[in-house]
Structure 1
């Protein structure tokens, strides 16, 4: 049986500045049916701000971060109450999970979240996930729940991610649904539909989220959230909506996905030409190949790996910034005994290559 993430946005949940309880009941009915068939299901849900607006009879849509945080703080309990009431009709319990980018960026918190999700699955409880808008600020907020749903799917080890919108999939320039969207091809021509009045992401953020999830071995689709039968069709291997596909035979492991997409680099390690060649040949970074360090980081943090103005990728460091300053340019045998832990500054298994320019 499959692990399924359903991402539902405000464009589907909100009707006339309030949560559409009729739609919530239809969504919950689908979840109950899927779980009754043995699947595990999590919902990544927007709608807290809309709930807050409805409770306060708040008119308009404030762009102020402070106003949004306040509305979300007021509306999130009401949103969960609506979900709880809907699921209680099917004798199911829900759990609220509020997340910020920092929860994923910190490796230990990432693993703790995975353990919490395992416990909820064992109890048969449905996770209802949302961004913690009440405390998120520009440095840590996702900006929309599409990317959040991709990160959550990776963390949970989901098999499917359904990004639900108000159209039948990703629409091509010819006005028809793109059945298979190739993530390895740049600039696929699509129709520009823009954003809805309530949603913050639009189709482009869904494409970004789907690419992240697919490369991390999560089967991802953009579907019409008002056609919930589409989920069941896809699980029966029928075509519906837009499926994201890749020509790559090897997908990223959870650890590799965390390094590439989820972690936030804490600094930069600059390397020489010999180390650059070694990394490109899938070898480890040794102290002798390091020429400089930038930033403050500790052992186990993710760092960028750079050669001049070229970013080669990122990796998990075995040494702190201060320690690398002490051992840069040294052979492994020359590392002072009091700080020696590993031969490598960054092991090849902990490197993700992605060449860019600074």
Structure 2
């Protein structure tokens, strides 16, 4: 059994005239149904609510104020789910809707609740359809077209595959050739978009890189050729592959890729070397801190040169840390006047970049 996340954007779901492409939705449902019927677990991350809203409201101009776009998303989300319910029902699959914001991932408690909901839906045999809640969140409307949301979902769920479907055959280099496997040094060709999608190839690259770094095999491919999904899983060179790196624990994946930092800590060279050897960060290795954070919050860890080397969960709040910066463990306890943890960030709660 494989865990598969497929993200489809507005440019695939919407025709040039702004109408939803129902024939494409049928083909998408047929493809995902085949995975589902082979006992794989499938989650669909979709855009298209705004475009569906335009279709209902008879608007043709996509350049509207943000509050109008949010209203159209509220209208279109209903229409979009009606269509998905219909096309998947044709293949005997029931669907459920998950509307979320990126903050649902950065808060550990909300993230765990989300994961439990997902587990419940899959156990009951419902295929989850995920979209960003655009009526209260503007990121997808303005920036990412759900690429980042799909990557965050794949990381949090620890999926085996993430497919970011595009209107091109993967990443194209400056010579106009498809890149079979992503190379960080390759110079890319800038690709044009249209008025319905808000993401771009760079957004897809960032999303795929994050997912692959967390152990998820990722692919940017042409969504108009849906049989490519099965070919990619079988090992064929389809689209642009982002090879999965060594998988990390769910906790460290959340720290590294889903959490939002509440502050910054700058460390000395000795602490930097200790963290690279999988040791804990002690107060004696801290040079300065920035921001106000509580015990259990996430902080970015920077070198003296300002380079981020990781993120971690703090054992102290910012007020306590300002009293014990640069102190050894015995000195820190005396400065605070009570017994306290030895480590500022324990190695089990630290995610290191690279």
TM-score of the pair, normalised by structure 1:
0.90
Q: What is aligned with 1:3?
A: 3
Unmatched tracts of structure 1, length 5 or more: none
Query: Which residue of structure 2 aligns with residue 285 of structure 1?
Result: 281
Distance 1:202 1:352 in 2: 28
Q: Return the offset for 1:339.
A: 5.7
- C-alpha change, 1:221 and 1:97, in structure 2 (3 Å) is same
Determine which of 285, 290, 294 is the counterpart of 2:290.
294
Q: Aligned-pair distance for 1:327?
A: 3.2
Question: What is aligned with 1:13?
Answer: 13
Secondary structure of 1:275's aligned partner:
helix
The alignment of Structure 1 onto Structure 2 pairs a total of residues equal to 350
- 2:311 paired residue number: 314
Partner residue, 1:74: 75
How far 1:263 sits from its partner (Å)? Answer: 1.5
> CA separation of 1:23/1:320 partners in 2, compared to 1, >3 Å: closer, same or farther?
same
1:195/1:203 contact within 8 Å kept = no
Q: Do the aligned partners of residues 322 and 137 (structure 1) sit closer, same or farther apart at CA in structure 2, a change above 3 Å counting?
A: farther
Give the drift of 1:125.
0.8
Aligned mates of 1:293, 1:240 — CA distance in 2:
46
Specify the alignment match of 2:161 in structure 1.
160
The separation in 2 between residues aligned to 1:349 and 1:254, in whole angstroms, is 12
Measured against aligned partners, the alpha-carbon deviations of 1:317-356 in whole angstroms (never above 9, x if no partner) come to: 112212222333333234268764522110123223349x
Return closer, same or farther for 1:162/1:306 CA change in 2, 3 Å cut-off.
Answer: closer
Distance 1:195 1:306, change over 3 A: same
Matched, 1:108 2:106: no
Per the alignment, residue 260 of structure 1 pairs with 256
- Tell me by how many angstroms 1:280 deviates: 3.8
> Would the alpha carbon gap of residues 14 and 274 (structure 1) be closer, same or farther in structure 2, given more than 3 Å must change?
same
Change (3 A) 1:339 1:99: farther
**Deviation of 1:71 (Å):** 1.1
Deviation at 1:155, TM superposition (A): 1.0
2:148 is the alignment partner of 1:147: yes
Report the aligned-residue RMSD: 2.3
Deviation at 1:281, TM superposition (A): 3.6
Greater CA deviation, 208-217 or 168-177?
168-177
> 1:179 maps to what in 2?
180
Alignment-derived partner of residue 118 in structure 2: 117
The SS at the match of 2:6 is strand
Flag the 1:339–1:231 CA change in 2: closer, same or farther, 3 A: farther
Structure 2 unmatched runs, 5+: none
Does the CA-based 8 Å contact 1:150-1:213 persist in structure 2? yes
Looking at structure 2, the residues matched to 292 and 175 of structure 1 have their Cα atoms a distance apart, in angstroms, of 48
